[in-house]
Amino acid sequence: MSKSDKRKSRRRQLQASHQKSWLVGRYAVTEALRAMKWPFEELYVADSLSPSEVSEVERLADGGQVRVQRVDADRLTELCSADHHQGRAARMGPYPYESPEQLQERLRIVSRTESPIVPVVVICDRIQDTFNFGAILRSCDATNVTAIVIGAVQQAGVTPQVARSSAGAVHHLPIVMAEQVVDVVTELKKAGFQIVAASEKATDSLWACNLSGPTALVMGSEAHGVSPELQDVCDIQVSIPMMGKLSSLNASVAAGILLYDIRRQQRH
């Protein structure tokens, strides 16, 4: 089998496990067990694993009262539709999104504590590419973002594919799902957040903007950018200076740059 065929096969396997909410592989399953945030429906280990490897899974599973089932490696491949499971696979239940009301309570708690971390909320506006969404979440975790808000439609949700792309960040971040994202942004604005939209067409450069206070960063869809209704409630639109031949970056790279510059400004 050629390298191209292997890549296509692996992609099909990822899509199959993604559709059935299967987390596979040592790191993915172990991280989910350690966090115990995302409910497990079934957890399997291959009987080809060493006793110490099985013991590790059972110890972590016991803390969350998750039953471990042993099967042979071929049966595990059949169950999760992937042969790269490394002897571990878990079928996950619905991801536990937070509500807009929980976000408001979280922000009230932050405002009452004496923390040097200025609150930052990331708004994902119709980010549909699961790899981009996962990479954005990874940057959110790296910059200690307060919460992420996503819409209920036209937006990638948390799936095993997103979990892989986020390097496990989905298990540690508060991710809020809202029927009307614009309503959440309006409430953030009332709470004193500066609403900042990322746009390659913006005339204000990131380097010239003051983003040192509580900030809600709006990242628009890969195809259409920030929606007009969200643009209407934004205080400012910013662009990332581009010094090469290309005029834009993908959403996940742009989010990482913006978040780190926001945190840099907040430290001064």
DSSP element (H, E) containing 35: helix 26-35
> 68-81 burial, b for 16+ CB within 10 Å, e for fewer?
beebebeebbebbb
74 & 147 share domain: no
Q: Which residue, 92, 125, 157, sits at the end of a domain?
A: 92
Provide the whole-model pTM. 0.87
Parent domain of 76? 3-92
What does the alpha-carbon distance between residue 15 and residue 162 come to, in Å, rounded to a whole number? 11
pLDDT at 6 over 60: no
Give me the number of domains the chain comprises.
Answer: 2
Burial class (CB in 10 A: 0-12, 13-18, 19+), 160: buried
Which domain CATH number covers 82? 3.30.1330.30
Check residue 20 and give its pLDDT.
Answer: 63
Among 32-41, 118-127, 153-162, 194-203, where is mean pLDDT lowest? 194-203
13 & 127 share domain: no
51 & 131 share domain: no
pLDDT digits (tens, 9 = 90+) for 44-99: 999 999 999 999 999 999 988 999 999 999 999 999 999 899 999 999 999 999 99
Closest to 88 in 3D by CA, of 164, 29, 145, 140:
29
Half-sphere exposure of 166 (CA within 13 A, CB side): 27
Among 5-9, 189-193, 230-234, where is mean pLDDT lowest? 5-9
Which domain CATH number covers 232? 3.40.1280.10
* Cα–chain center distance at 262: 19
13 & 86 share domain: yes
What does the alpha-carbon distance between residue 60 and residue 56 come to, in Å, rounded to a whole number? 6
86: alpha, beta or left? (left if phi > 0; alpha if psi -120 to 50): left
